[in-house]
């Protein structure tokens, strides 16, 4: 069984970091969320002068058996088509990564297609899509283990390339369905409030999706543990993202969290290791109906609300400049003492 040893940042530096922030040439608290972010990054990196290096967006792709139940407006083949498209440079996440200086890594976690790995897609395929969790567990315990290990391996590669700030995205038709179920079982929010339009379902479509997921939850006969619920409902790409998040926290990297699906993955990861939350920066509140409630349940304050519902890591990458501003504030602003300015409030 893959194990992670995640520790909370040492709080001993908090006072010195706060003092440095409070003595920059501005009224105390005047830079708001930037000050909160600077404190968080400084604690994670255990320094008064943190840095952000080699930002990377890892996009995991996989197919879902539950998609056979008509829970998504988009056809299943979009998963492999978009996965091939990402590295050609014309997708949404492609231009955002170029704009903000991110490396983009695309990982086949479990796409039901033979992908062109020679084009740069990373082959970590665990299977050709999960099973249909309406009738049986989406994956076996062994497949879940492989997902956690492969996710950690991808993060190790990023870390060894110099990355210390990482975001995760996904591509998988139907993956708002397991996200909704995880949200409900891990927060006790009624399923009806967790189910949304996904890629564009109308009201009857949402009602059908809810009916399918409710039946899947009623059919569940597992032991109710976090690991079993993750295995029973999750997608290969989602569980791989969990392994990636946990390894990133273990390596004390900053984790930029994207929209509804990646927030659900972080929620699931936190059921295994609550300490992961200390390393998470929430980039974006998306338009999926349950996302705000999920963020509230995690006591999370997203940096942006741009009405995105693309996934792929798009909201996280868009939020990166704000994180960069927080770090620049610590490193580039003068103190009152150094600038011979009278401290004001």
Which member of 69, 143, 288, 312 is catalytic?
312
Helix (H, G, I), strand (E, B) or coil at 193: helix
Task: Dump the DSSP string for 273-294.
Answer: -GGGGGGEEE-B--SSTTHHHH
User: Helix (H) and strand (E) counts for the chain?
Assistant: 14, 6
Tokens coding 177: 């369905």
Tokens coding 35: 């000050």
Residue closest to 257 by CA, chosen among 175, 203, 180, 318: 318
Tokens coding 274: 């609550």
Integer Cα distance of 83 and 3 in angstroms: 29
Residue closest to 227 by CA, chosen among 263, 174, 182: 182
Is 312 annotated as catalytic?
yes
Contact 100, 56 (CB under 8 A): no
Contact 106, 59 (CB under 8 A): yes
Tokens coding 345: 């409030």
Contact 258, 316 (CB under 8 A): yes
Residue closest to 57 by CA, chosen among 135, 141, 166: 166
Active site residues: 312
């Amino acid at each position: 069984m893959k194990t992670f040893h995640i520790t909370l940042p040492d709080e001993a530096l908090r006072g010195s970091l706060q003092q440095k922030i409070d003595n920059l040439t501005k009224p105390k608290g005047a830079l708001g969320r930037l000050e909160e972010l600077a404190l968080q990054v400084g604690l994670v990196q255990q320094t008064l002068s943190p840095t952000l290096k080699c930002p990377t967006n890892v996009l995991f792709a996989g197919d879902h058996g539950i998609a056979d139940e008509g829970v998504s407006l988009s056809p299943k083949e979009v998963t492999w088509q978009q996965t091939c498209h990402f590295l050609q440079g014309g997708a949404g996440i492609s231009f955002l990564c170029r704009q903000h200086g991110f490396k983009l890594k695309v990982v086949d976690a479990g796409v039901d297609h033979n992908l062109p790995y020679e084009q740069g897609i990373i082959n970590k395929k665990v299977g050709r899509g999960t099973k249909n969790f309406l009738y049986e567990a989406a994956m076996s315990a062994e497949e879940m283990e492989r997902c956690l290990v492969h996710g950690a391996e991808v993060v190790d590669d990023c870390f060894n390339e110099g990355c210390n700030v990482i975001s995760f995205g996904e591509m998988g038709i139907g993956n708002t369905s397991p996200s909704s179920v995880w949200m409900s079982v891990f927060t006790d929010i009624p399923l009806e409030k967790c189910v949304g339009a996904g890629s564009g379902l109308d009201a009857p479509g949402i009602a059908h999706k809810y009916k399918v997921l409710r039946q899947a939850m009623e059919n569940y006969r597992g032991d109710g543990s976090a690991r079993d619920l993750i295995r029973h409902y999750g997608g290969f790409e989602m569980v791989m993202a969990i392994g990636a998040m946990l390894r990133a926290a273990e390596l004390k990297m900053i984790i930029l969290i994207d929209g509804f699906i990646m927030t659900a993955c972080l929620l699931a990861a936190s059921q295994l290791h609550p300490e992961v939350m200390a390393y998470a920066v929430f980039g974006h509140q998306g338009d999926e109906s349950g996302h705000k409630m999920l963020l509230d349940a995690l006591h999370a304050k997203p940096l942006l609300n741009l009405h995105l519902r693309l996934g792929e890591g798009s909201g996280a990458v868009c939020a990166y400049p704000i994180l960069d501003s927080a770090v620049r504030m610590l490193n580039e602003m003068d103190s009152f003492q150094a600038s011979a300015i009278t401290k004001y409030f």
